[in-house]
């Protein structure tokens, strides 16, 4: 019974757009475990016992979280299913505080990328890629996945990336000009590949290639460590873009709501909550919110 219920549950949620790769694997492991113990309904004790077989507390919490969501789905129609308590705590560890680069640090990083590595197309590739990440907030995977057909007069077409969403990312005229300058140098280098960014192997860039180019550029730019000893990563350029966009948010409840929804869509977040995370993760934004709240409480305009 549970095995069939798992298949129905996964089919329903996947039809709604969820991939559920790991969660599906866990549920298909839990169902036969429970049935082998003679239990054909979700039991809290058995679920906790099964989840407890994982090595780390975080893995146990994640496995149990999958059962909790599954049990809630089943219990809506059959009260014999029990919803286990989250005895192993949160499924995900707290997100690290993002490393936010200033405009001057980004300029230093891009300049360092122009001077590090081999005197070949690599310097132009790294310079253009880092600049694009900084001015658009793209994920690294989205940027290195770009193809010639994705470059349009209206901006970049980001096709079915994370969360299987597609979106259009407008580009400033200076960014479009920068990409065109790079392509003039890049096209003869790998004429039979239509990826925008290519490696010295004349093949599409890999995320490892980006990391390998980013680290020496950071060192050459002499960027300081962040809070808690954090070091900048390529994704820091996306974080920095998001924070700058939030800092330009206009006043007024309706304007703020529209700004947040627009930014969430622009960044490709699955929910606006992922965009609001920056407000609590970045001290400068928290300080701005506190100042505005204090101003409002003391009689100022909201």
Active centre residues (catalytic): 139, 162, 235, 238, 269, 278
43: Cα separation from own chain's centroid: 34
CA–CA distance from 256 to each of 89, 253, 286, 290 (Å)?
A: 33, 5, 15, 16
3-state secondary structure of 233: coil
For residues 139 and 124, give the distance between their C-alpha atoms in angstroms, rounded to a whole number.
Answer: 19
Q: How far apart are CA 190 and CA 171, in angstroms?
A: 25
- Closest by Cα among 221, 243, 257, 263 to 107: 221
Question: What kind and span of H or E run contains 126?
Answer: helix 121-136
Q: Rounded to whole angstroms, how far apart are CA atoms 125 and 176? A: 15
As given in the structure block, the two tokens for residue 154 are 């209206």
C-alpha distance from residue 294 to each of 198, 259, 298, 302 (Å): 51, 22, 6, 10
Number of Cβ within a 10 Å radius of residue 287: 10
* Alpha carbon 262 to chain centroid, angstroms: 16
């Amino acid at each position: 019974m549970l095995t069939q219920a798992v298949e129905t549950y996964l089919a329903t949620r996947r039809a709604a757009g969820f991939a559920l790769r790991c969660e599906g694997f866990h549920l298909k492991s839990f169902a036969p475990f429970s049935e082998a113990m003679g239990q054909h309904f979700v039991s809290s004790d058995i679920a906790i016992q099964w989840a407890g077989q994982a090595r780390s507390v975080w893995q146990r919490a994640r496995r149990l979280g999958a059962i909790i969501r599954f049990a809630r789905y089943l219990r809506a129609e059959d009260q014999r299913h029990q919803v286990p308590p989250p005895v192993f705590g949160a499924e995900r560890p707290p997100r690290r505080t993002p490393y936010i680069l200033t405009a001057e640090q980004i300029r230093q990083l891009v300049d360092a990328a122009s001077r590090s590595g081999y005197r070949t197309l690599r310097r132009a590739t790294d310079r253009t890629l880092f600049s694009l990440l900084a001015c658009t907030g793209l994920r690294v995977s989205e940027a290195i996945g770009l193809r010639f057909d994705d470059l349009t007069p209206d901006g970049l077409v980001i096709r079915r990336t994370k969360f299987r969403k597609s979106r259009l990312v407008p580009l400033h005229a200076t960014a479009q000009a920068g990409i065109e300058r790079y392509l003039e140098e890049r096209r003869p280098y790998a004429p039979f590949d239509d990826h925008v960014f290519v490696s010295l192997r004349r093949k599409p860039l890999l995320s490892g290639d980006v990391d390998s180019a980013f680290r020496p550029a950071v060192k050459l730019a002499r960027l300081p460590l962040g809070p808690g000893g954090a070091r900048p990563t390529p994704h820091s350029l996306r974080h920095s873009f998001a924070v700058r966009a939030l800092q330009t948010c206009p006043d007024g409840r309706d304007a703020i709501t529209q700004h947040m929804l627009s930014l969430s869509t622009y960044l490709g977040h699955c929910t606006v909550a992922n965009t609001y995370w920056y407000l609590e993760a970045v001290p400068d934004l928290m300080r701005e919110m506190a100042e505005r709240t204090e101003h409002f409480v003391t009689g100022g305009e909201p």
